[in-house]
Amino acid sequence: MTALFSPLELRETTVPNRVMVSPMCQYSCDDRDGLATDWHRVHLGSRAVGGAGLVMTEATAVEPRGRISPEDLGIWSDDHRAALEPITEFVSAQGSVPAIQLAHAGRKASTSRPWEGHEPVAPEDGGWDVVGPSGEPWPYDGEAPRTEQLDQQGIERVIDSFRSGAERALAAGFEVAEVHAAHGYLLHEFLSPVTNHREDDYGGDFDDRTRLTREVTAAVREVWPDDKPVFVRISATDWLPDWDAWTVEDSVRLADQLADVGANLIDVSGGGIHPQSRPESAGPNYQLRYAERIRAETDSDIAVGAVGGITTPEQAEAVIANERADLAIVGREHLRDPYFALHAADALDATDEIEGPPQYRRAIGF
Ligand code: FNR
């Protein structure tokens, strides 16, 4: 029996194996309306056919101004729920667990798609003014969008948007809700001293900077059923060793705080808070040591997902077998190979440990 194809129990949800499709923006809504399209259905659906135990949507904005680009997915109305429903139905029918990443891009919102330059889009060109913990914009090379400091009312609106986004996601059939608190987007902007210079209850010391992420996670947990898990994705480090920045020690502390408000898994990523935030290397397992450390040092029994540079079946198996993380989260390799999990089962001699679609199984014998 392999470790990679052993099930993972989180609350009363069983993830059939330890391969998760990492959230990856597709910038593919047709009319800048945040509605899922055939692209999302086929993209996510084929990764479920490919055997991943858990299929996570891209960052899905809880309010329109929280989109990274005008073409991002959203979950701010019932039309959005309805457009996502066929995806959860199909993913579940393949035996995978459908998961949604709930997101707000904060001051990094309103940019063009990567293949159109990834530049700020002005309101007159279909973009919008953005929000953050302060009025300081992301340090763009060119002109930055107007960045508004969120006031108390604005903060409450953000928390409410995550709560109602989670309610709609549940109604759409998702089984896991992941709060996106990584990569320099809104919640991370509050966590990190690099971007949070507030002097109210939401800035200053560790407890004040983590308050928004804790309140958002608690709001999601409030509407997410007790038998289903909540994940939180964090950047374990800001990768700014010479700055007053977020560190792995902070992440260990935060993981325990999040467990206290009902999070079940920490999805451990890194960076994104500033243009100078760069990993020391981006090779195999480049973030695994953070996941491993959080798993070893937290007092709670929160599960841990590792992401970054996991590209081979042997690597993914070793991550789980050596108890370095509970989930092997695979991003870009899933873009190269939607059938990563089926191929991994084959490579690890574990084809009898994975169902796989009956439509293919007889013909190719996995
Ligand atoms: C990403 N990533 C990402 N992360 C996230 O939390 N939400 C998102 O929507 C996206 N979008 C996204 C789009 C694309 C095209 C890529 C390549 C990446 C980051 C991704 O989930 C993952 O953490 C990194 O790619 C590192 O893992 P891999 O690719 O080395 O397995």
CATH code: domain of residue 219:
3.20.20.70
CA of residue 96 to ligand 1 center, whole Å? 20
Task: Give me the pLDDT at residue 280, please.
Answer: 83
Task: Tell which one of 20, 21, 24 to mutate to probe ligand 1, the residue whose CB is within 8 A of the most ligand atoms.
Answer: 24
**What is the rounded average pLDDT of the residues 105-133?**
97
Look-up of token digits 């190979």: 337
Which domain range does residue 17 map to?
8-364
Complex ipTM over 0.90: yes
Q: Residue 66 falls within a domain, yes or no?
A: yes
Q: Residue 1 falls within a domain, yes or no?
A: no
Q: With beta carbons less than 8 A apart as the criterion, state whether 219 and 232 touch.
A: no
Q: With beta carbons less than 8 A apart as the criterion, state whether 271 and 183 touch.
A: yes
CA of residue 288 to ligand 1 center, whole Å? 15
CA of residue 250 to ligand 1 center, whole Å? 22
Q: Report the nearest atom of ligand 1 relative to the CA of 286.
A: 30
Q: Report the nearest atom of ligand 1 relative to the CA of 22.
A: 21
The total number of structural domains that make up the chain: 1
Task: Give me the pLDDT at residue 363, please.
Answer: 85
pLDDT band at 168 (very low <50, low <70, confident <90, very high): very high
198-204 contacts at long range (C-beta below 8 A, 24 or more positions apart): 198/133, 198/134, 198/149, 200/152, 202/133, 202/155, 203/133
CA of residue 23 to ligand 1 center, whole Å? 6
Q: With beta carbons less than 8 A apart as the criterion, state whether 95 and 355 touch.
A: yes
Q: What is the pLDDT of residues 296-342, one digit of tens each?
A: 999 999 999 999 999 999 999 999 999 999 999 999 999 999 999 99
pTM for this one?
0.98
Task: Give me the pLDDT at residue 35, please.
Answer: 98
Q: Residue 77 falls within a domain, yes or no?
A: yes
Which residues does residue 325 pair with via DSSP β-bridges, in sequence order?
none
Q: Residue 321 falls within a domain, yes or no?
A: yes
Q: Residue 2 falls within a domain, yes or no?
A: no
How far apart, in whole angstroms, are the C-alpha atoms of residue 256 and residue 205? 17
Pairing of strands 303-307, 54-61: unpaired
- Residue 328 is given by DSSP the state E
Query: Which active-site residues does the annotation give?
Result: 185
How far apart, in whole angstroms, are the C-alpha atoms of residue 348 and residue 170? 35
pLDDT band at 6 (very low <50, low <70, confident <90, very high): very high
Burial class (CB in 10 A: 0-12, 13-18, 19+), 130: buried
Burial letters 258-269, b for 16+ CB under 10 A, else e: bbebbbbbbbbb
Task: Tell which one of 19, 22, 178 to mutate to probe ligand 1, the residue whose CB is within 8 A of the most ligand atoms.
Answer: 22
